[in-house]
Amino acid sequence: MTMQAASTEIASRTAAIVQEMKGLEGPLLPILHGIQEEFGHVPQDAVPVIADGLNLSRAEVHGVVTFYHDFRARPAGRHVLKLCQAEACQSMGSDAVAAKVKQLLGIDFHETTRDGSVTLEPVYCLGLCACSPSAMLDGEVIGRLDDEKIDEIVAEVRS
């Protein structure tokens, strides 16, 4: 697909999402979630379409997209692994968990492995504070991380 065709494709799929949700009160966040679900990230080419649909400036939409940690500028890896780094998990050794996972995957937080298999992110609380240290792998929650569970997670994202 040529660059132009890809851009037209993004525009038309974005327009459909905007059309579906613009009747909501305060539609921008639901639209952005919808777009991220559709494309795996919020493409640059979607911004003018959203702005046009909601009668906002492109700068306003860009400002909202970049404010929130959830919205990605690029697609993530096939798996997304989030490690909780907040206080309750700190008290149970989340620092050591993060160090081990980073070493095993060979990446730091906010990075994706070169083969595109996994993106590693810190998260500040999953509400599993009585089951620390905790993590979320592709939306599935995991508590009381230990070496065995870490090895399982790493094996799963690598497979």
Partner 1 sequence: MIPRIYIPGDSGALALGAEKVAKAVRAELAERGIEAKIVRNGSRGAYFLEPMVEVATANGRVAYGPVKPSDVKSLFDSGFLTGGHHKRWLGAPDKIPFLAKQTRLTFARCGINDPLSLDAYKSLGGLKGLQNAVAMAPAEIVKQVTESGLRGRGGAGFPTGIKWKTVLDTTSERKYIVCNADEGDSATFADRMIMEGDPFVLIEGMAIAGVATGATKGFVYIRSEYPHAVAVMNKAVEIARKAGVLGVNVLGSPNAFDMEIRVGAGAYVCGEETSLLNSLEGKRGVVRAKPPLPAIQGLFGKPTVINNVISLASVPIIMDKGATFYKDFGMGRSRGTIPIQIAGNVKQGGLFETAFGLTLGEIVDDIGGGTATGRAVKAVQVGGPLGAYFPRALFDTPFDYEEFAKRDGLIGHAGITVFDDTADMLKQARFAMEFCAIESCGKCTPCRIGSTRGVETIDRLAAGIEPEKNLALVTDLCNTMKFGSLCALGGFTPYPVMSSITHFPEDFKPAPARVAAE
Binding-site residue set for [2Fe-2S] cluster = 84, 89, 125, 129
CB under 8 A: which stretch of 3-11, 62-70, 100-108, 110-118 binds partner 1? 62-70
Query: What is the rounded CA–CA span in Å between residue 73 and residue 32?
Result: 12
Please give the C-alpha separations between residue 96 and each of 27, 79, 91, in angstroms, as whole numbers. 41, 21, 11
In the complex, minimum distance from the CB of residue 112 to partner 1, in angstroms, rounded to a whole number = 18
Binding mask 64-103 for partner 1 (x = CB under 8 A): x--xxxxx--------------xxxxxxx-----------
The verdict on 150 binding partner 1 (CB under 8 A) reads no
Record the tokens describing residue 119, joined without a space: 């993106």
Cα R_g (the chain), whole angstroms = 18
Q: What are phi and psi of 48, to 5 degrees?
A: -65, -30
Record the tokens describing residue 124, joined without a space: 């500040």
Record the tokens describing residue 146, joined without a space: 């230990």
Q: Which residue lies nearer to partner 1 by CB, 13 or 62?
A: 62
CB under 8 A: which stretch of 10-18, 20-28, 103-111, 150-158 binds partner 1? 20-28
Record the tokens describing residue 70, joined without a space: 């959830």
- Give the binding site for partner 1 (CB under 8 A): 24-30, 32-33, 54, 63-64, 67-71, 86-92, 123-132, 134, 136, 139-144
